[in-house]
């Protein structure tokens, strides 16, 4: 299963074709030091089942959130590494295997259309007031806990000491020579915004996207694109093997490469943000425990602890003050970088993703 650090665009594809659903994979209780994050009390439930995407991100969640939560509350966290299509099919069949769902806010909107989520009682998530989340990240059915940024990455040894500053530079194959890689819609949304930014559209005037104009700009770079990546590690591999000099990438995927000494860096000008959130499955068996884990996860201390374990960008602005300077400076959500990027317009993409992805696939085939 291909995982992004925080979410995938293909989560809901193929739900109707699911014939069998896997069982939960249990996650043991933790021994990590707990924080002072408040947790609601009064539940008799001793287990909560949560969906996340597994991999290194799943291990970080276990270390930073699940194990400390178990130690503090006595509630065992069971983890299901299911994709969204599986979770949705389970809920539609009236037998959800998870209580709390870790999901992109965009895919959460798709779940809402399927009546697959519980309407939240926000009074039971008391740490929301402490976290001071932006209002647009709190909805009736899901609340953001973090975001990931899709941006430009490049080899620092490729351009005689120069570094690309904008998407226009990404498109400039004369000044910044070498192959390119861009995202396949199986991994994330088509990168129309980057094309429009390269063509001079101001960042605050991107939406509604001018699709025709974006594809004309994409035409200018198509011959230089050596690979369309469909998994999180692939852009880093292409850079490491010097198959390309520049690529789009999920920003969090660069941290390990830098630690390994690979000469790569990110350019966060024009980065596209997509938010990840929590939602509760319709018919959740352990509703009280789900609210307790939901509440616990929203506290700024807990969000900061996750960011120290994995390059995840907390949605709480207060969390960044609790992260070491070294780690904070490597996050796309750090104060010095935040205004350089923009939020993906979920409403626009919900209406247009299918048509744009179909057109993109035809375009990529030439």
DSSP state of 117: B
Q: What percent of the chain has pLDDT over 70?
A: 88
- Pairing type for strands 180-183 and 47-51 reads unpaired
Residue 53 is predicted with a pLDDT of 81
CATH hierarchy code of domain 149-273+344-365: 3.40.190.10
Average pLDDT over residues 131-158: 95
Note the pLDDT of residue 84.
Answer: 86
Radius of gyration (C-alpha) of the chain in whole angstroms: 20
Query: Is the pLDDT reported for residue 18 higher than 90?
Result: no
**Segment (H or E) for 76:** strand 76-80
> pLDDT band at 213, cuts 50/70/90?
very high
59-80 confidence digits (pLDDT tens) = 999 999 999 999 999 999 999 9
Give the span between the Cα atoms of 83 and 103, in whole angstroms: 9
Domain spans of the chain? Answer: 15-147+274-342, 149-273+344-365
Digit-coded pLDDT (tens) for 248-296: 999 989 988 998 999 999 999 999 999 999 999 999 999 999 999 999 9
- The pTM for the full model equals 0.85
pLDDT at 232 over 70: yes
Residue 13: is the preceding peptide bond cis (ω within 30°)? no
Whether the CB-CB separation of 226 and 180 falls below 8 Å is answered with yes
Enter the CATH code of domain 15-147+274-342. Answer: 3.40.190.10
Distance CA 63, CA 152 (A): 29
Asked whether the domain spanning 149-273+344-365 has the same topology as the one spanning 15-147+274-342, the reply is yes
Note the pLDDT of residue 2. Answer: 35
């Amino acid at each position: 299963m291909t995982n992004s650090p925080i979410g995938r665009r293909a989560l809901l594809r193929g739900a109707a074709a699911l014939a069998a659903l896997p069982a939960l994979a249990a996650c043991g209780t933790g021994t990590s030091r707990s924080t002072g994050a408040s947790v609601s009390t009064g539940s008799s439930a001793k287990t909560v089942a949560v969906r996340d995407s597994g991999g290194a991100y799943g291990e970080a969640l276990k270390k930073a959130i699940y194990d400390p939560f178990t130690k503090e509350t006595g509630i065992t966290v069971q983890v299901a590494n299911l994709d969204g299509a599986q979770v949705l099919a389970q809920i539609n069949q009236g037998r959800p295997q998870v209580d709390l769902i870790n999901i992109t806010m965009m895919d959460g909107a798709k779940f809402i259309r399927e009546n697959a989520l519980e309407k939240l009682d926000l009074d039971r998530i008391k740490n929301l007031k402490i976290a001071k989340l932006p209002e647009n990240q709190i909805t009736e059915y899901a609340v953001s806990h973090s975001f990931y940024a899709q941006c430009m990455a490049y080899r620092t040894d490729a351009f005689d000491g120069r570094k690309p500053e904008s998407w226009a530079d990404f498109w400039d194959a004369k000044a910044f020579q070498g192959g390119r890689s861009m995202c396949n819609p199986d991994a994330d949304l088509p990168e129309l915004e980057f094309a429009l930014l390269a063509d001079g559209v101001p960042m605050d005037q991107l939406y509604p996207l001018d699709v025709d104009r974006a594809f004309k700009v994409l035409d200018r770079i198509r011959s230089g694109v050596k690979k369309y990546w469909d998994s999180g590690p692939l852009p880093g591999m292409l850079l490491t093997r010097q198959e390309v000099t520049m690529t789009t990438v999920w920003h969090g995927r660069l941290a390990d490469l830098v630690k390994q000494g690979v000469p790569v860096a990110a350019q966060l000008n024009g980065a596209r943000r997509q938010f990840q959130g929590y939602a509760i499955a319709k018919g959740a068996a352990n509703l009280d425990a789900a609210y307790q884990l939901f509440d616990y996860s929203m506290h700024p201390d807990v969000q900061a602890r996750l960011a120290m374990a994995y390059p995840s960008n907390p949605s709480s602005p207060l969390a960044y003050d609790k992260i070491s300077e070294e780690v904070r400076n490597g996050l796309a959500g750090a104060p010095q970088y935040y205004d350089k990027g923009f939020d993906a317009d979920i409403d626009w993409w919900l209406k247009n993703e299918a048509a744009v992805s179909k057109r993109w696939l035809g375009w990529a085939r030439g």
